[in-house]
A and B are shown apart, each in its own frame.
Chain A
Amino acid sequence: MAAPSEAIEQRELAAGGERQTFGDRVRVFVPRIPLHLVLVAVIVLWSVPTIALLISSFREPQLISSSGWWNALTPPWDFTWSNYDAVLNQRGMGRAFVNSLLITIPVTLLVLFVASMAAYAIAWMEFPARNVLFLVMVALLVVPLQMTLIPVLRLYSTLEVDVEVPIIGGKLFGTSSYAGIWLAHTAYGLPFAIFLLRNFFGSLPRDLFESAYLDGASDLRVFFSIVLPLSMPALAALAIFQFLWTWNDLLVALILLGDPELAPMTLRITSLVSSFGSSYQLLTAAAFVSMAVPLLIFFALQRYFVQGILAGAVKG
């Protein structure tokens, strides 16, 4: 893809009514070659470890230990699906993958739902002590997650409801329950989410709201019809952050999910390490299975990701 200034130059040439000759395009492109070369070099350097892992995951265990991964790029090409097969079907990774989804998706939706409403109220509704409430919530960002784990664990033990939940499994509430881990992850994710969204909502122009009030919209209507559609970049960015954070979480799952049946992929991979220390082929395959979903999400929402980084910094 041409760098932005190239595109502008090309557009200017086209706009001048002249047809772009090949010579024009070469003239515009050639000075940029060094820059492109550097960019490609950086990308290659960055990707090498990941590509190496990817290639290794398709190789037999003996080959991995006997030769370097780059050897696989030359014939004979000995690729195999056996590692993935082992990981998904035989080590309980399939179930772990589903567990990861069962944990991450509800948490992401919950955080989006609760944080957006909270952020809207703090940004645009008048009620007593709203600034104090916001400050306290943001101050919670300072609290190290690790400090809360034991107290939460204790709390969950006390509130345990030992009723088996159909279909998804686990208890109704307490340790080893989905509800418990959903609640915990949501709580950990809310301070940042509310902070991000409140700043974004606050940057929406005031007279947009006033116009809507005059049109007869209630606060709820304004929230759904105006604030949410206009905040898609921030919401998408938040969804990505929250999804990644929850998907890759090990610590909370380790402490709060005792039952191995409910373990997400992160937990499962660590158990692979402990039982098969040097089974690189299984680890690499497991790593990629675990990476697949977040990568998919990221690529699907990536243009919002960039906008989301600027969310609140610059009014769209």
Chain B
Amino acid sequence: MAGVTFENVTKKFGELYVVRDLSMEIPDKEFLVLVGPSGCGKSTTLRMLAGLDTITSGIIRIGDRIVNNLAAKDRDIAMVFQSYALYPHMSVYDNMAFGLTLRKMPESEIATRVQEAATLLGIEGLLKRKPRQLSGGQRQRVALGRAIVRNPDVFLLDEPLSNLDAKLRVQTRAEISKLHQRLGTTFIYVTHDQVEAMTMATRIAVLNLGVLQQLGTPQEVYERPVNTFVAGFIGSPATNFFPSVLKREGESIVADLGAFQLPVAPEHQKPLAPYIDKEIITGVRPEHIHDAEFQPPSTDVAVIRARADVTEMMGNESLVHLVAGDHSFLGRMDPRTQARPGSEMQAAIDIGSLMFFDLETELAIR
């Protein structure tokens, strides 16, 4: 059991920076999710940790050992690949036993480990089958089982759910989380799906273009995003951003968005003071835009007029695309909303949840 440390790790392919100066410390037993859009360097980071890609500069430690020059098989890690990478010509049992056989473990111990893992994952009945005789979900469990029998210091998972259908994905998410609790080992998980990140991680590392944007718990990353990228990436549907100008109105500050104005909550006033009369970016999450008729009680709201452009009924909520002046934005509203395409309505915006970002640096203003 060990934690992982990245110290200024960089990966270049020729002149192209794929991972740039990544530093993070992952304590033992953590479930860390590396999340970001395609090409952000998350898979490369995982592969450098696994030993499948070389490191251009920097140091990676597993526990106390520096593993930069250690062969993949000596790093005491196990990996679950996106395509599962099961050996097609071997039975499930042999697939799971392969790594142990190579390490010259006695037959009896191999049998015990494989049985335990198979029972844990509910695949005991499949041990004699070949991968082509298994469903996608079953193959995934075999891939997990193959990693579990190795009893590694760290589990690496590279987008293991992307090949599953939506329903199976939800089910397997919970199972992987339970597995993590059960095994008590460090899990490092790569995905482009922020829902997986939010639901499974103890901490999330958001990456973009090879650079670590923010490392924090799901709650931190959601409520206090460090820049517009994180605010826009985490949470679905994405955060609405409005260019705005801060104005002083008497004792308080107001964000002037052109078509309407939003008062700034008292707790945000102090850090925003230097930005008065300057242009900033205001961010509002769709879940904080309500139909004024059904606004949640005891929240500080600002009511604005807008026209509903498109409504998407989800059953449990309605996604309403709103237009006000030159702004188009999205709100997640109570399903009883009367908003229909083309109708005027009143939207209540929760001003306590407003986020403000510097226009040039795109960093959050706090």
Is the C-beta of B89 less than 8 angstroms from some C-beta in chain A?
yes
Which A residues touch B82, using CB under 8 A?
207
Mask, B165-203, CB within 8 Å of A = 1, is 000000000000000000000000000000000000000
Q: Are A207 and B89 in contact (CB under 8 A)?
A: no
Please report which residues of chain A, range 244-275, place their CB below 8 angstroms from some CB of chain B when the two chains form the complex: none
Is the C-beta of B78 less than 8 angstroms from some C-beta in chain A?
yes
Report how far A229 CA is from B78 CA in the complex, Å. 24
Is the C-beta of B229 less than 8 angstroms from some C-beta in chain A?
no
Please report which residues of chain A, range 219-244, place their CB below 8 angstroms from some CB of chain B when the two chains form the complex: 221, 225-226, 229-230
Q: Are A216 and B87 in contact (CB under 8 A)?
A: no
Is the C-beta of A75 less than 8 angstroms from some C-beta in chain B?
no
Please report which residues of chain B, range 133-155, place their CB below 8 angstroms from some CB of chain A when the two chains form the complex: 146, 150
Question: How close is A123's CB to chain B, nearest CB, in angstroms?
Answer: 17
Which B residues touch A216, using CB under 8 A?
73, 99, 102-103
Is the C-beta of B50 less than 8 angstroms from some C-beta in chain A?
yes
Mask, B74-92, CB within 8 Å of A = 1, is 0001110111010111000
Q: Which residue of B has the minimal Cβ distance to A229?
A: B89
Question: How close is A230's CB to chain B, nearest CB, in angstroms?
Answer: 6
Is the C-beta of B1 less than 8 angstroms from some C-beta in chain A?
no
Please report which residues of chain B, range 308-329, place their CB below 8 angstroms from some CB of chain A when the two chains form the complex: none
Which A residues touch B103, using CB under 8 A?
216
Number of interface residues of B (CB under 8 A): 21
Report how far A214 CA is from B82 CA in the complex, Å. 15
Is the C-beta of B17 less than 8 angstroms from some C-beta in chain A?
no
Which A residues touch B85, using CB under 8 A?
205, 207-208, 210-211
Question: How close is B91's CB to chain A, nearest CB, in angstroms?
Answer: 13
Which B residues touch A229, using CB under 8 A?
89
Is the C-beta of A213 less than 8 angstroms from some C-beta in chain B?
yes
Which B residues touch A230, using CB under 8 A?
88-89
Contact partner, B102, options A207, A208, A217, Cβ 8 Å: A217
Q: Are A214 and B87 in contact (CB under 8 A)?
A: no
Q: Are B83 and A214 in contact (CB under 8 A)?
A: no
Contact partner, A221, options B77, B89, B102, Cβ 8 Å: B102
Which A residues touch B222, using CB under 8 A?
none
Q: Are B72 and A211 in contact (CB under 8 A)?
A: no
Which B residues touch A217, using CB under 8 A?
73, 98, 102
Assuming the A-B contacts A216-B103, A221-B102, A226-B87, are A211 and B73 also in contact, with contact meaning beta carbons closer than 8 angstroms in the complex?
no
Report how far A312 CA is from B320 CA in the complex, Å. 51
Q: Are B81 and A210 in contact (CB under 8 A)?
A: yes
Please report which residues of chain B, range 33-53, place their CB below 8 angstroms from some CB of chain A when the two chains form the complex: 50-52
Q: Which residue of A has the minimal Cβ distance to B104?
A: A216
Assuming the A-B contacts A226-B87, A229-B89, are A215 and B73 also in contact, with contact meaning beta carbons closer than 8 angstroms in the complex?
yes
Mask, A81-105, CB within 8 Å of B = 1, is 0000000000000000000000000
Question: How close is A211's CB to chain B, nearest CB, in angstroms?
Answer: 4
Report how far A26 CA is from B220 CA in the complex, Å. 71
Which B residues touch A215, using CB under 8 A?
73, 98-99, 102, 150
Contact partner, A211, options B77, B81, B89, Cβ 8 Å: B81
Q: Are B73 and A214 in contact (CB under 8 A)?
A: yes
Q: Are A210 and B73 in contact (CB under 8 A)?
A: no
Q: Are A211 and B79 in contact (CB under 8 A)?
A: yes
Q: Which residue of B has the minimal Cβ distance to A211?
A: B85
Q: Are B83 and A205 in contact (CB under 8 A)?
A: yes
Report how far A217 CA is from B52 CA in the complex, Å. 13
Q: Are A214 and B77 in contact (CB under 8 A)?
A: yes
Report how far A217 CA is from B97 CA in the complex, Å. 13
Mask, A21-38, CB within 8 Å of B = 1, is 000000000000000000
Question: How close is A166's CB to chain B, nearest CB, in angstroms?
Answer: 41
Question: How close is A22's CB to chain B, nearest CB, in angstroms?
Answer: 34
Contact partner, B52, options A208, A210, A225, Cβ 8 Å: A210
Which B residues touch A226, using CB under 8 A?
87, 89
Please report which residues of chain A, range 185-222, place their CB below 8 angstroms from some CB of chain B when the two chains form the complex: 205, 207-208, 210-217, 221
Question: How close is B150's CB to chain A, nearest CB, in angstroms?
Answer: 8
Which A residues touch B150, using CB under 8 A?
215
Q: Which residue of A has the minimal Cβ distance to B89?
A: A229
15 A-B residue pairs with Cβ-Cβ distance under 8 Å, sorted by A, are A207-B83, A208-B87, A210-B52, A211-B79, A212-B87, A212-B98, A214-B50, A214-B51, A215-B99, A215-B102, A216-B102, A225-B98, A229-B89, A230-B88, A230-B89
Q: Measuring CB to CB, which residues of chain B are less than 8 angstroms from any residue of chain A? A: 50-52, 72-73, 77-79, 81-83, 85, 87-89, 98-99, 102-103, 146, 150
**Given A207-B85, A214-B73, A216-B103, list of 6 further CB < 8 A pairs?**
A208-B85, A214-B50, A215-B98, A216-B73, A221-B102, A226-B87
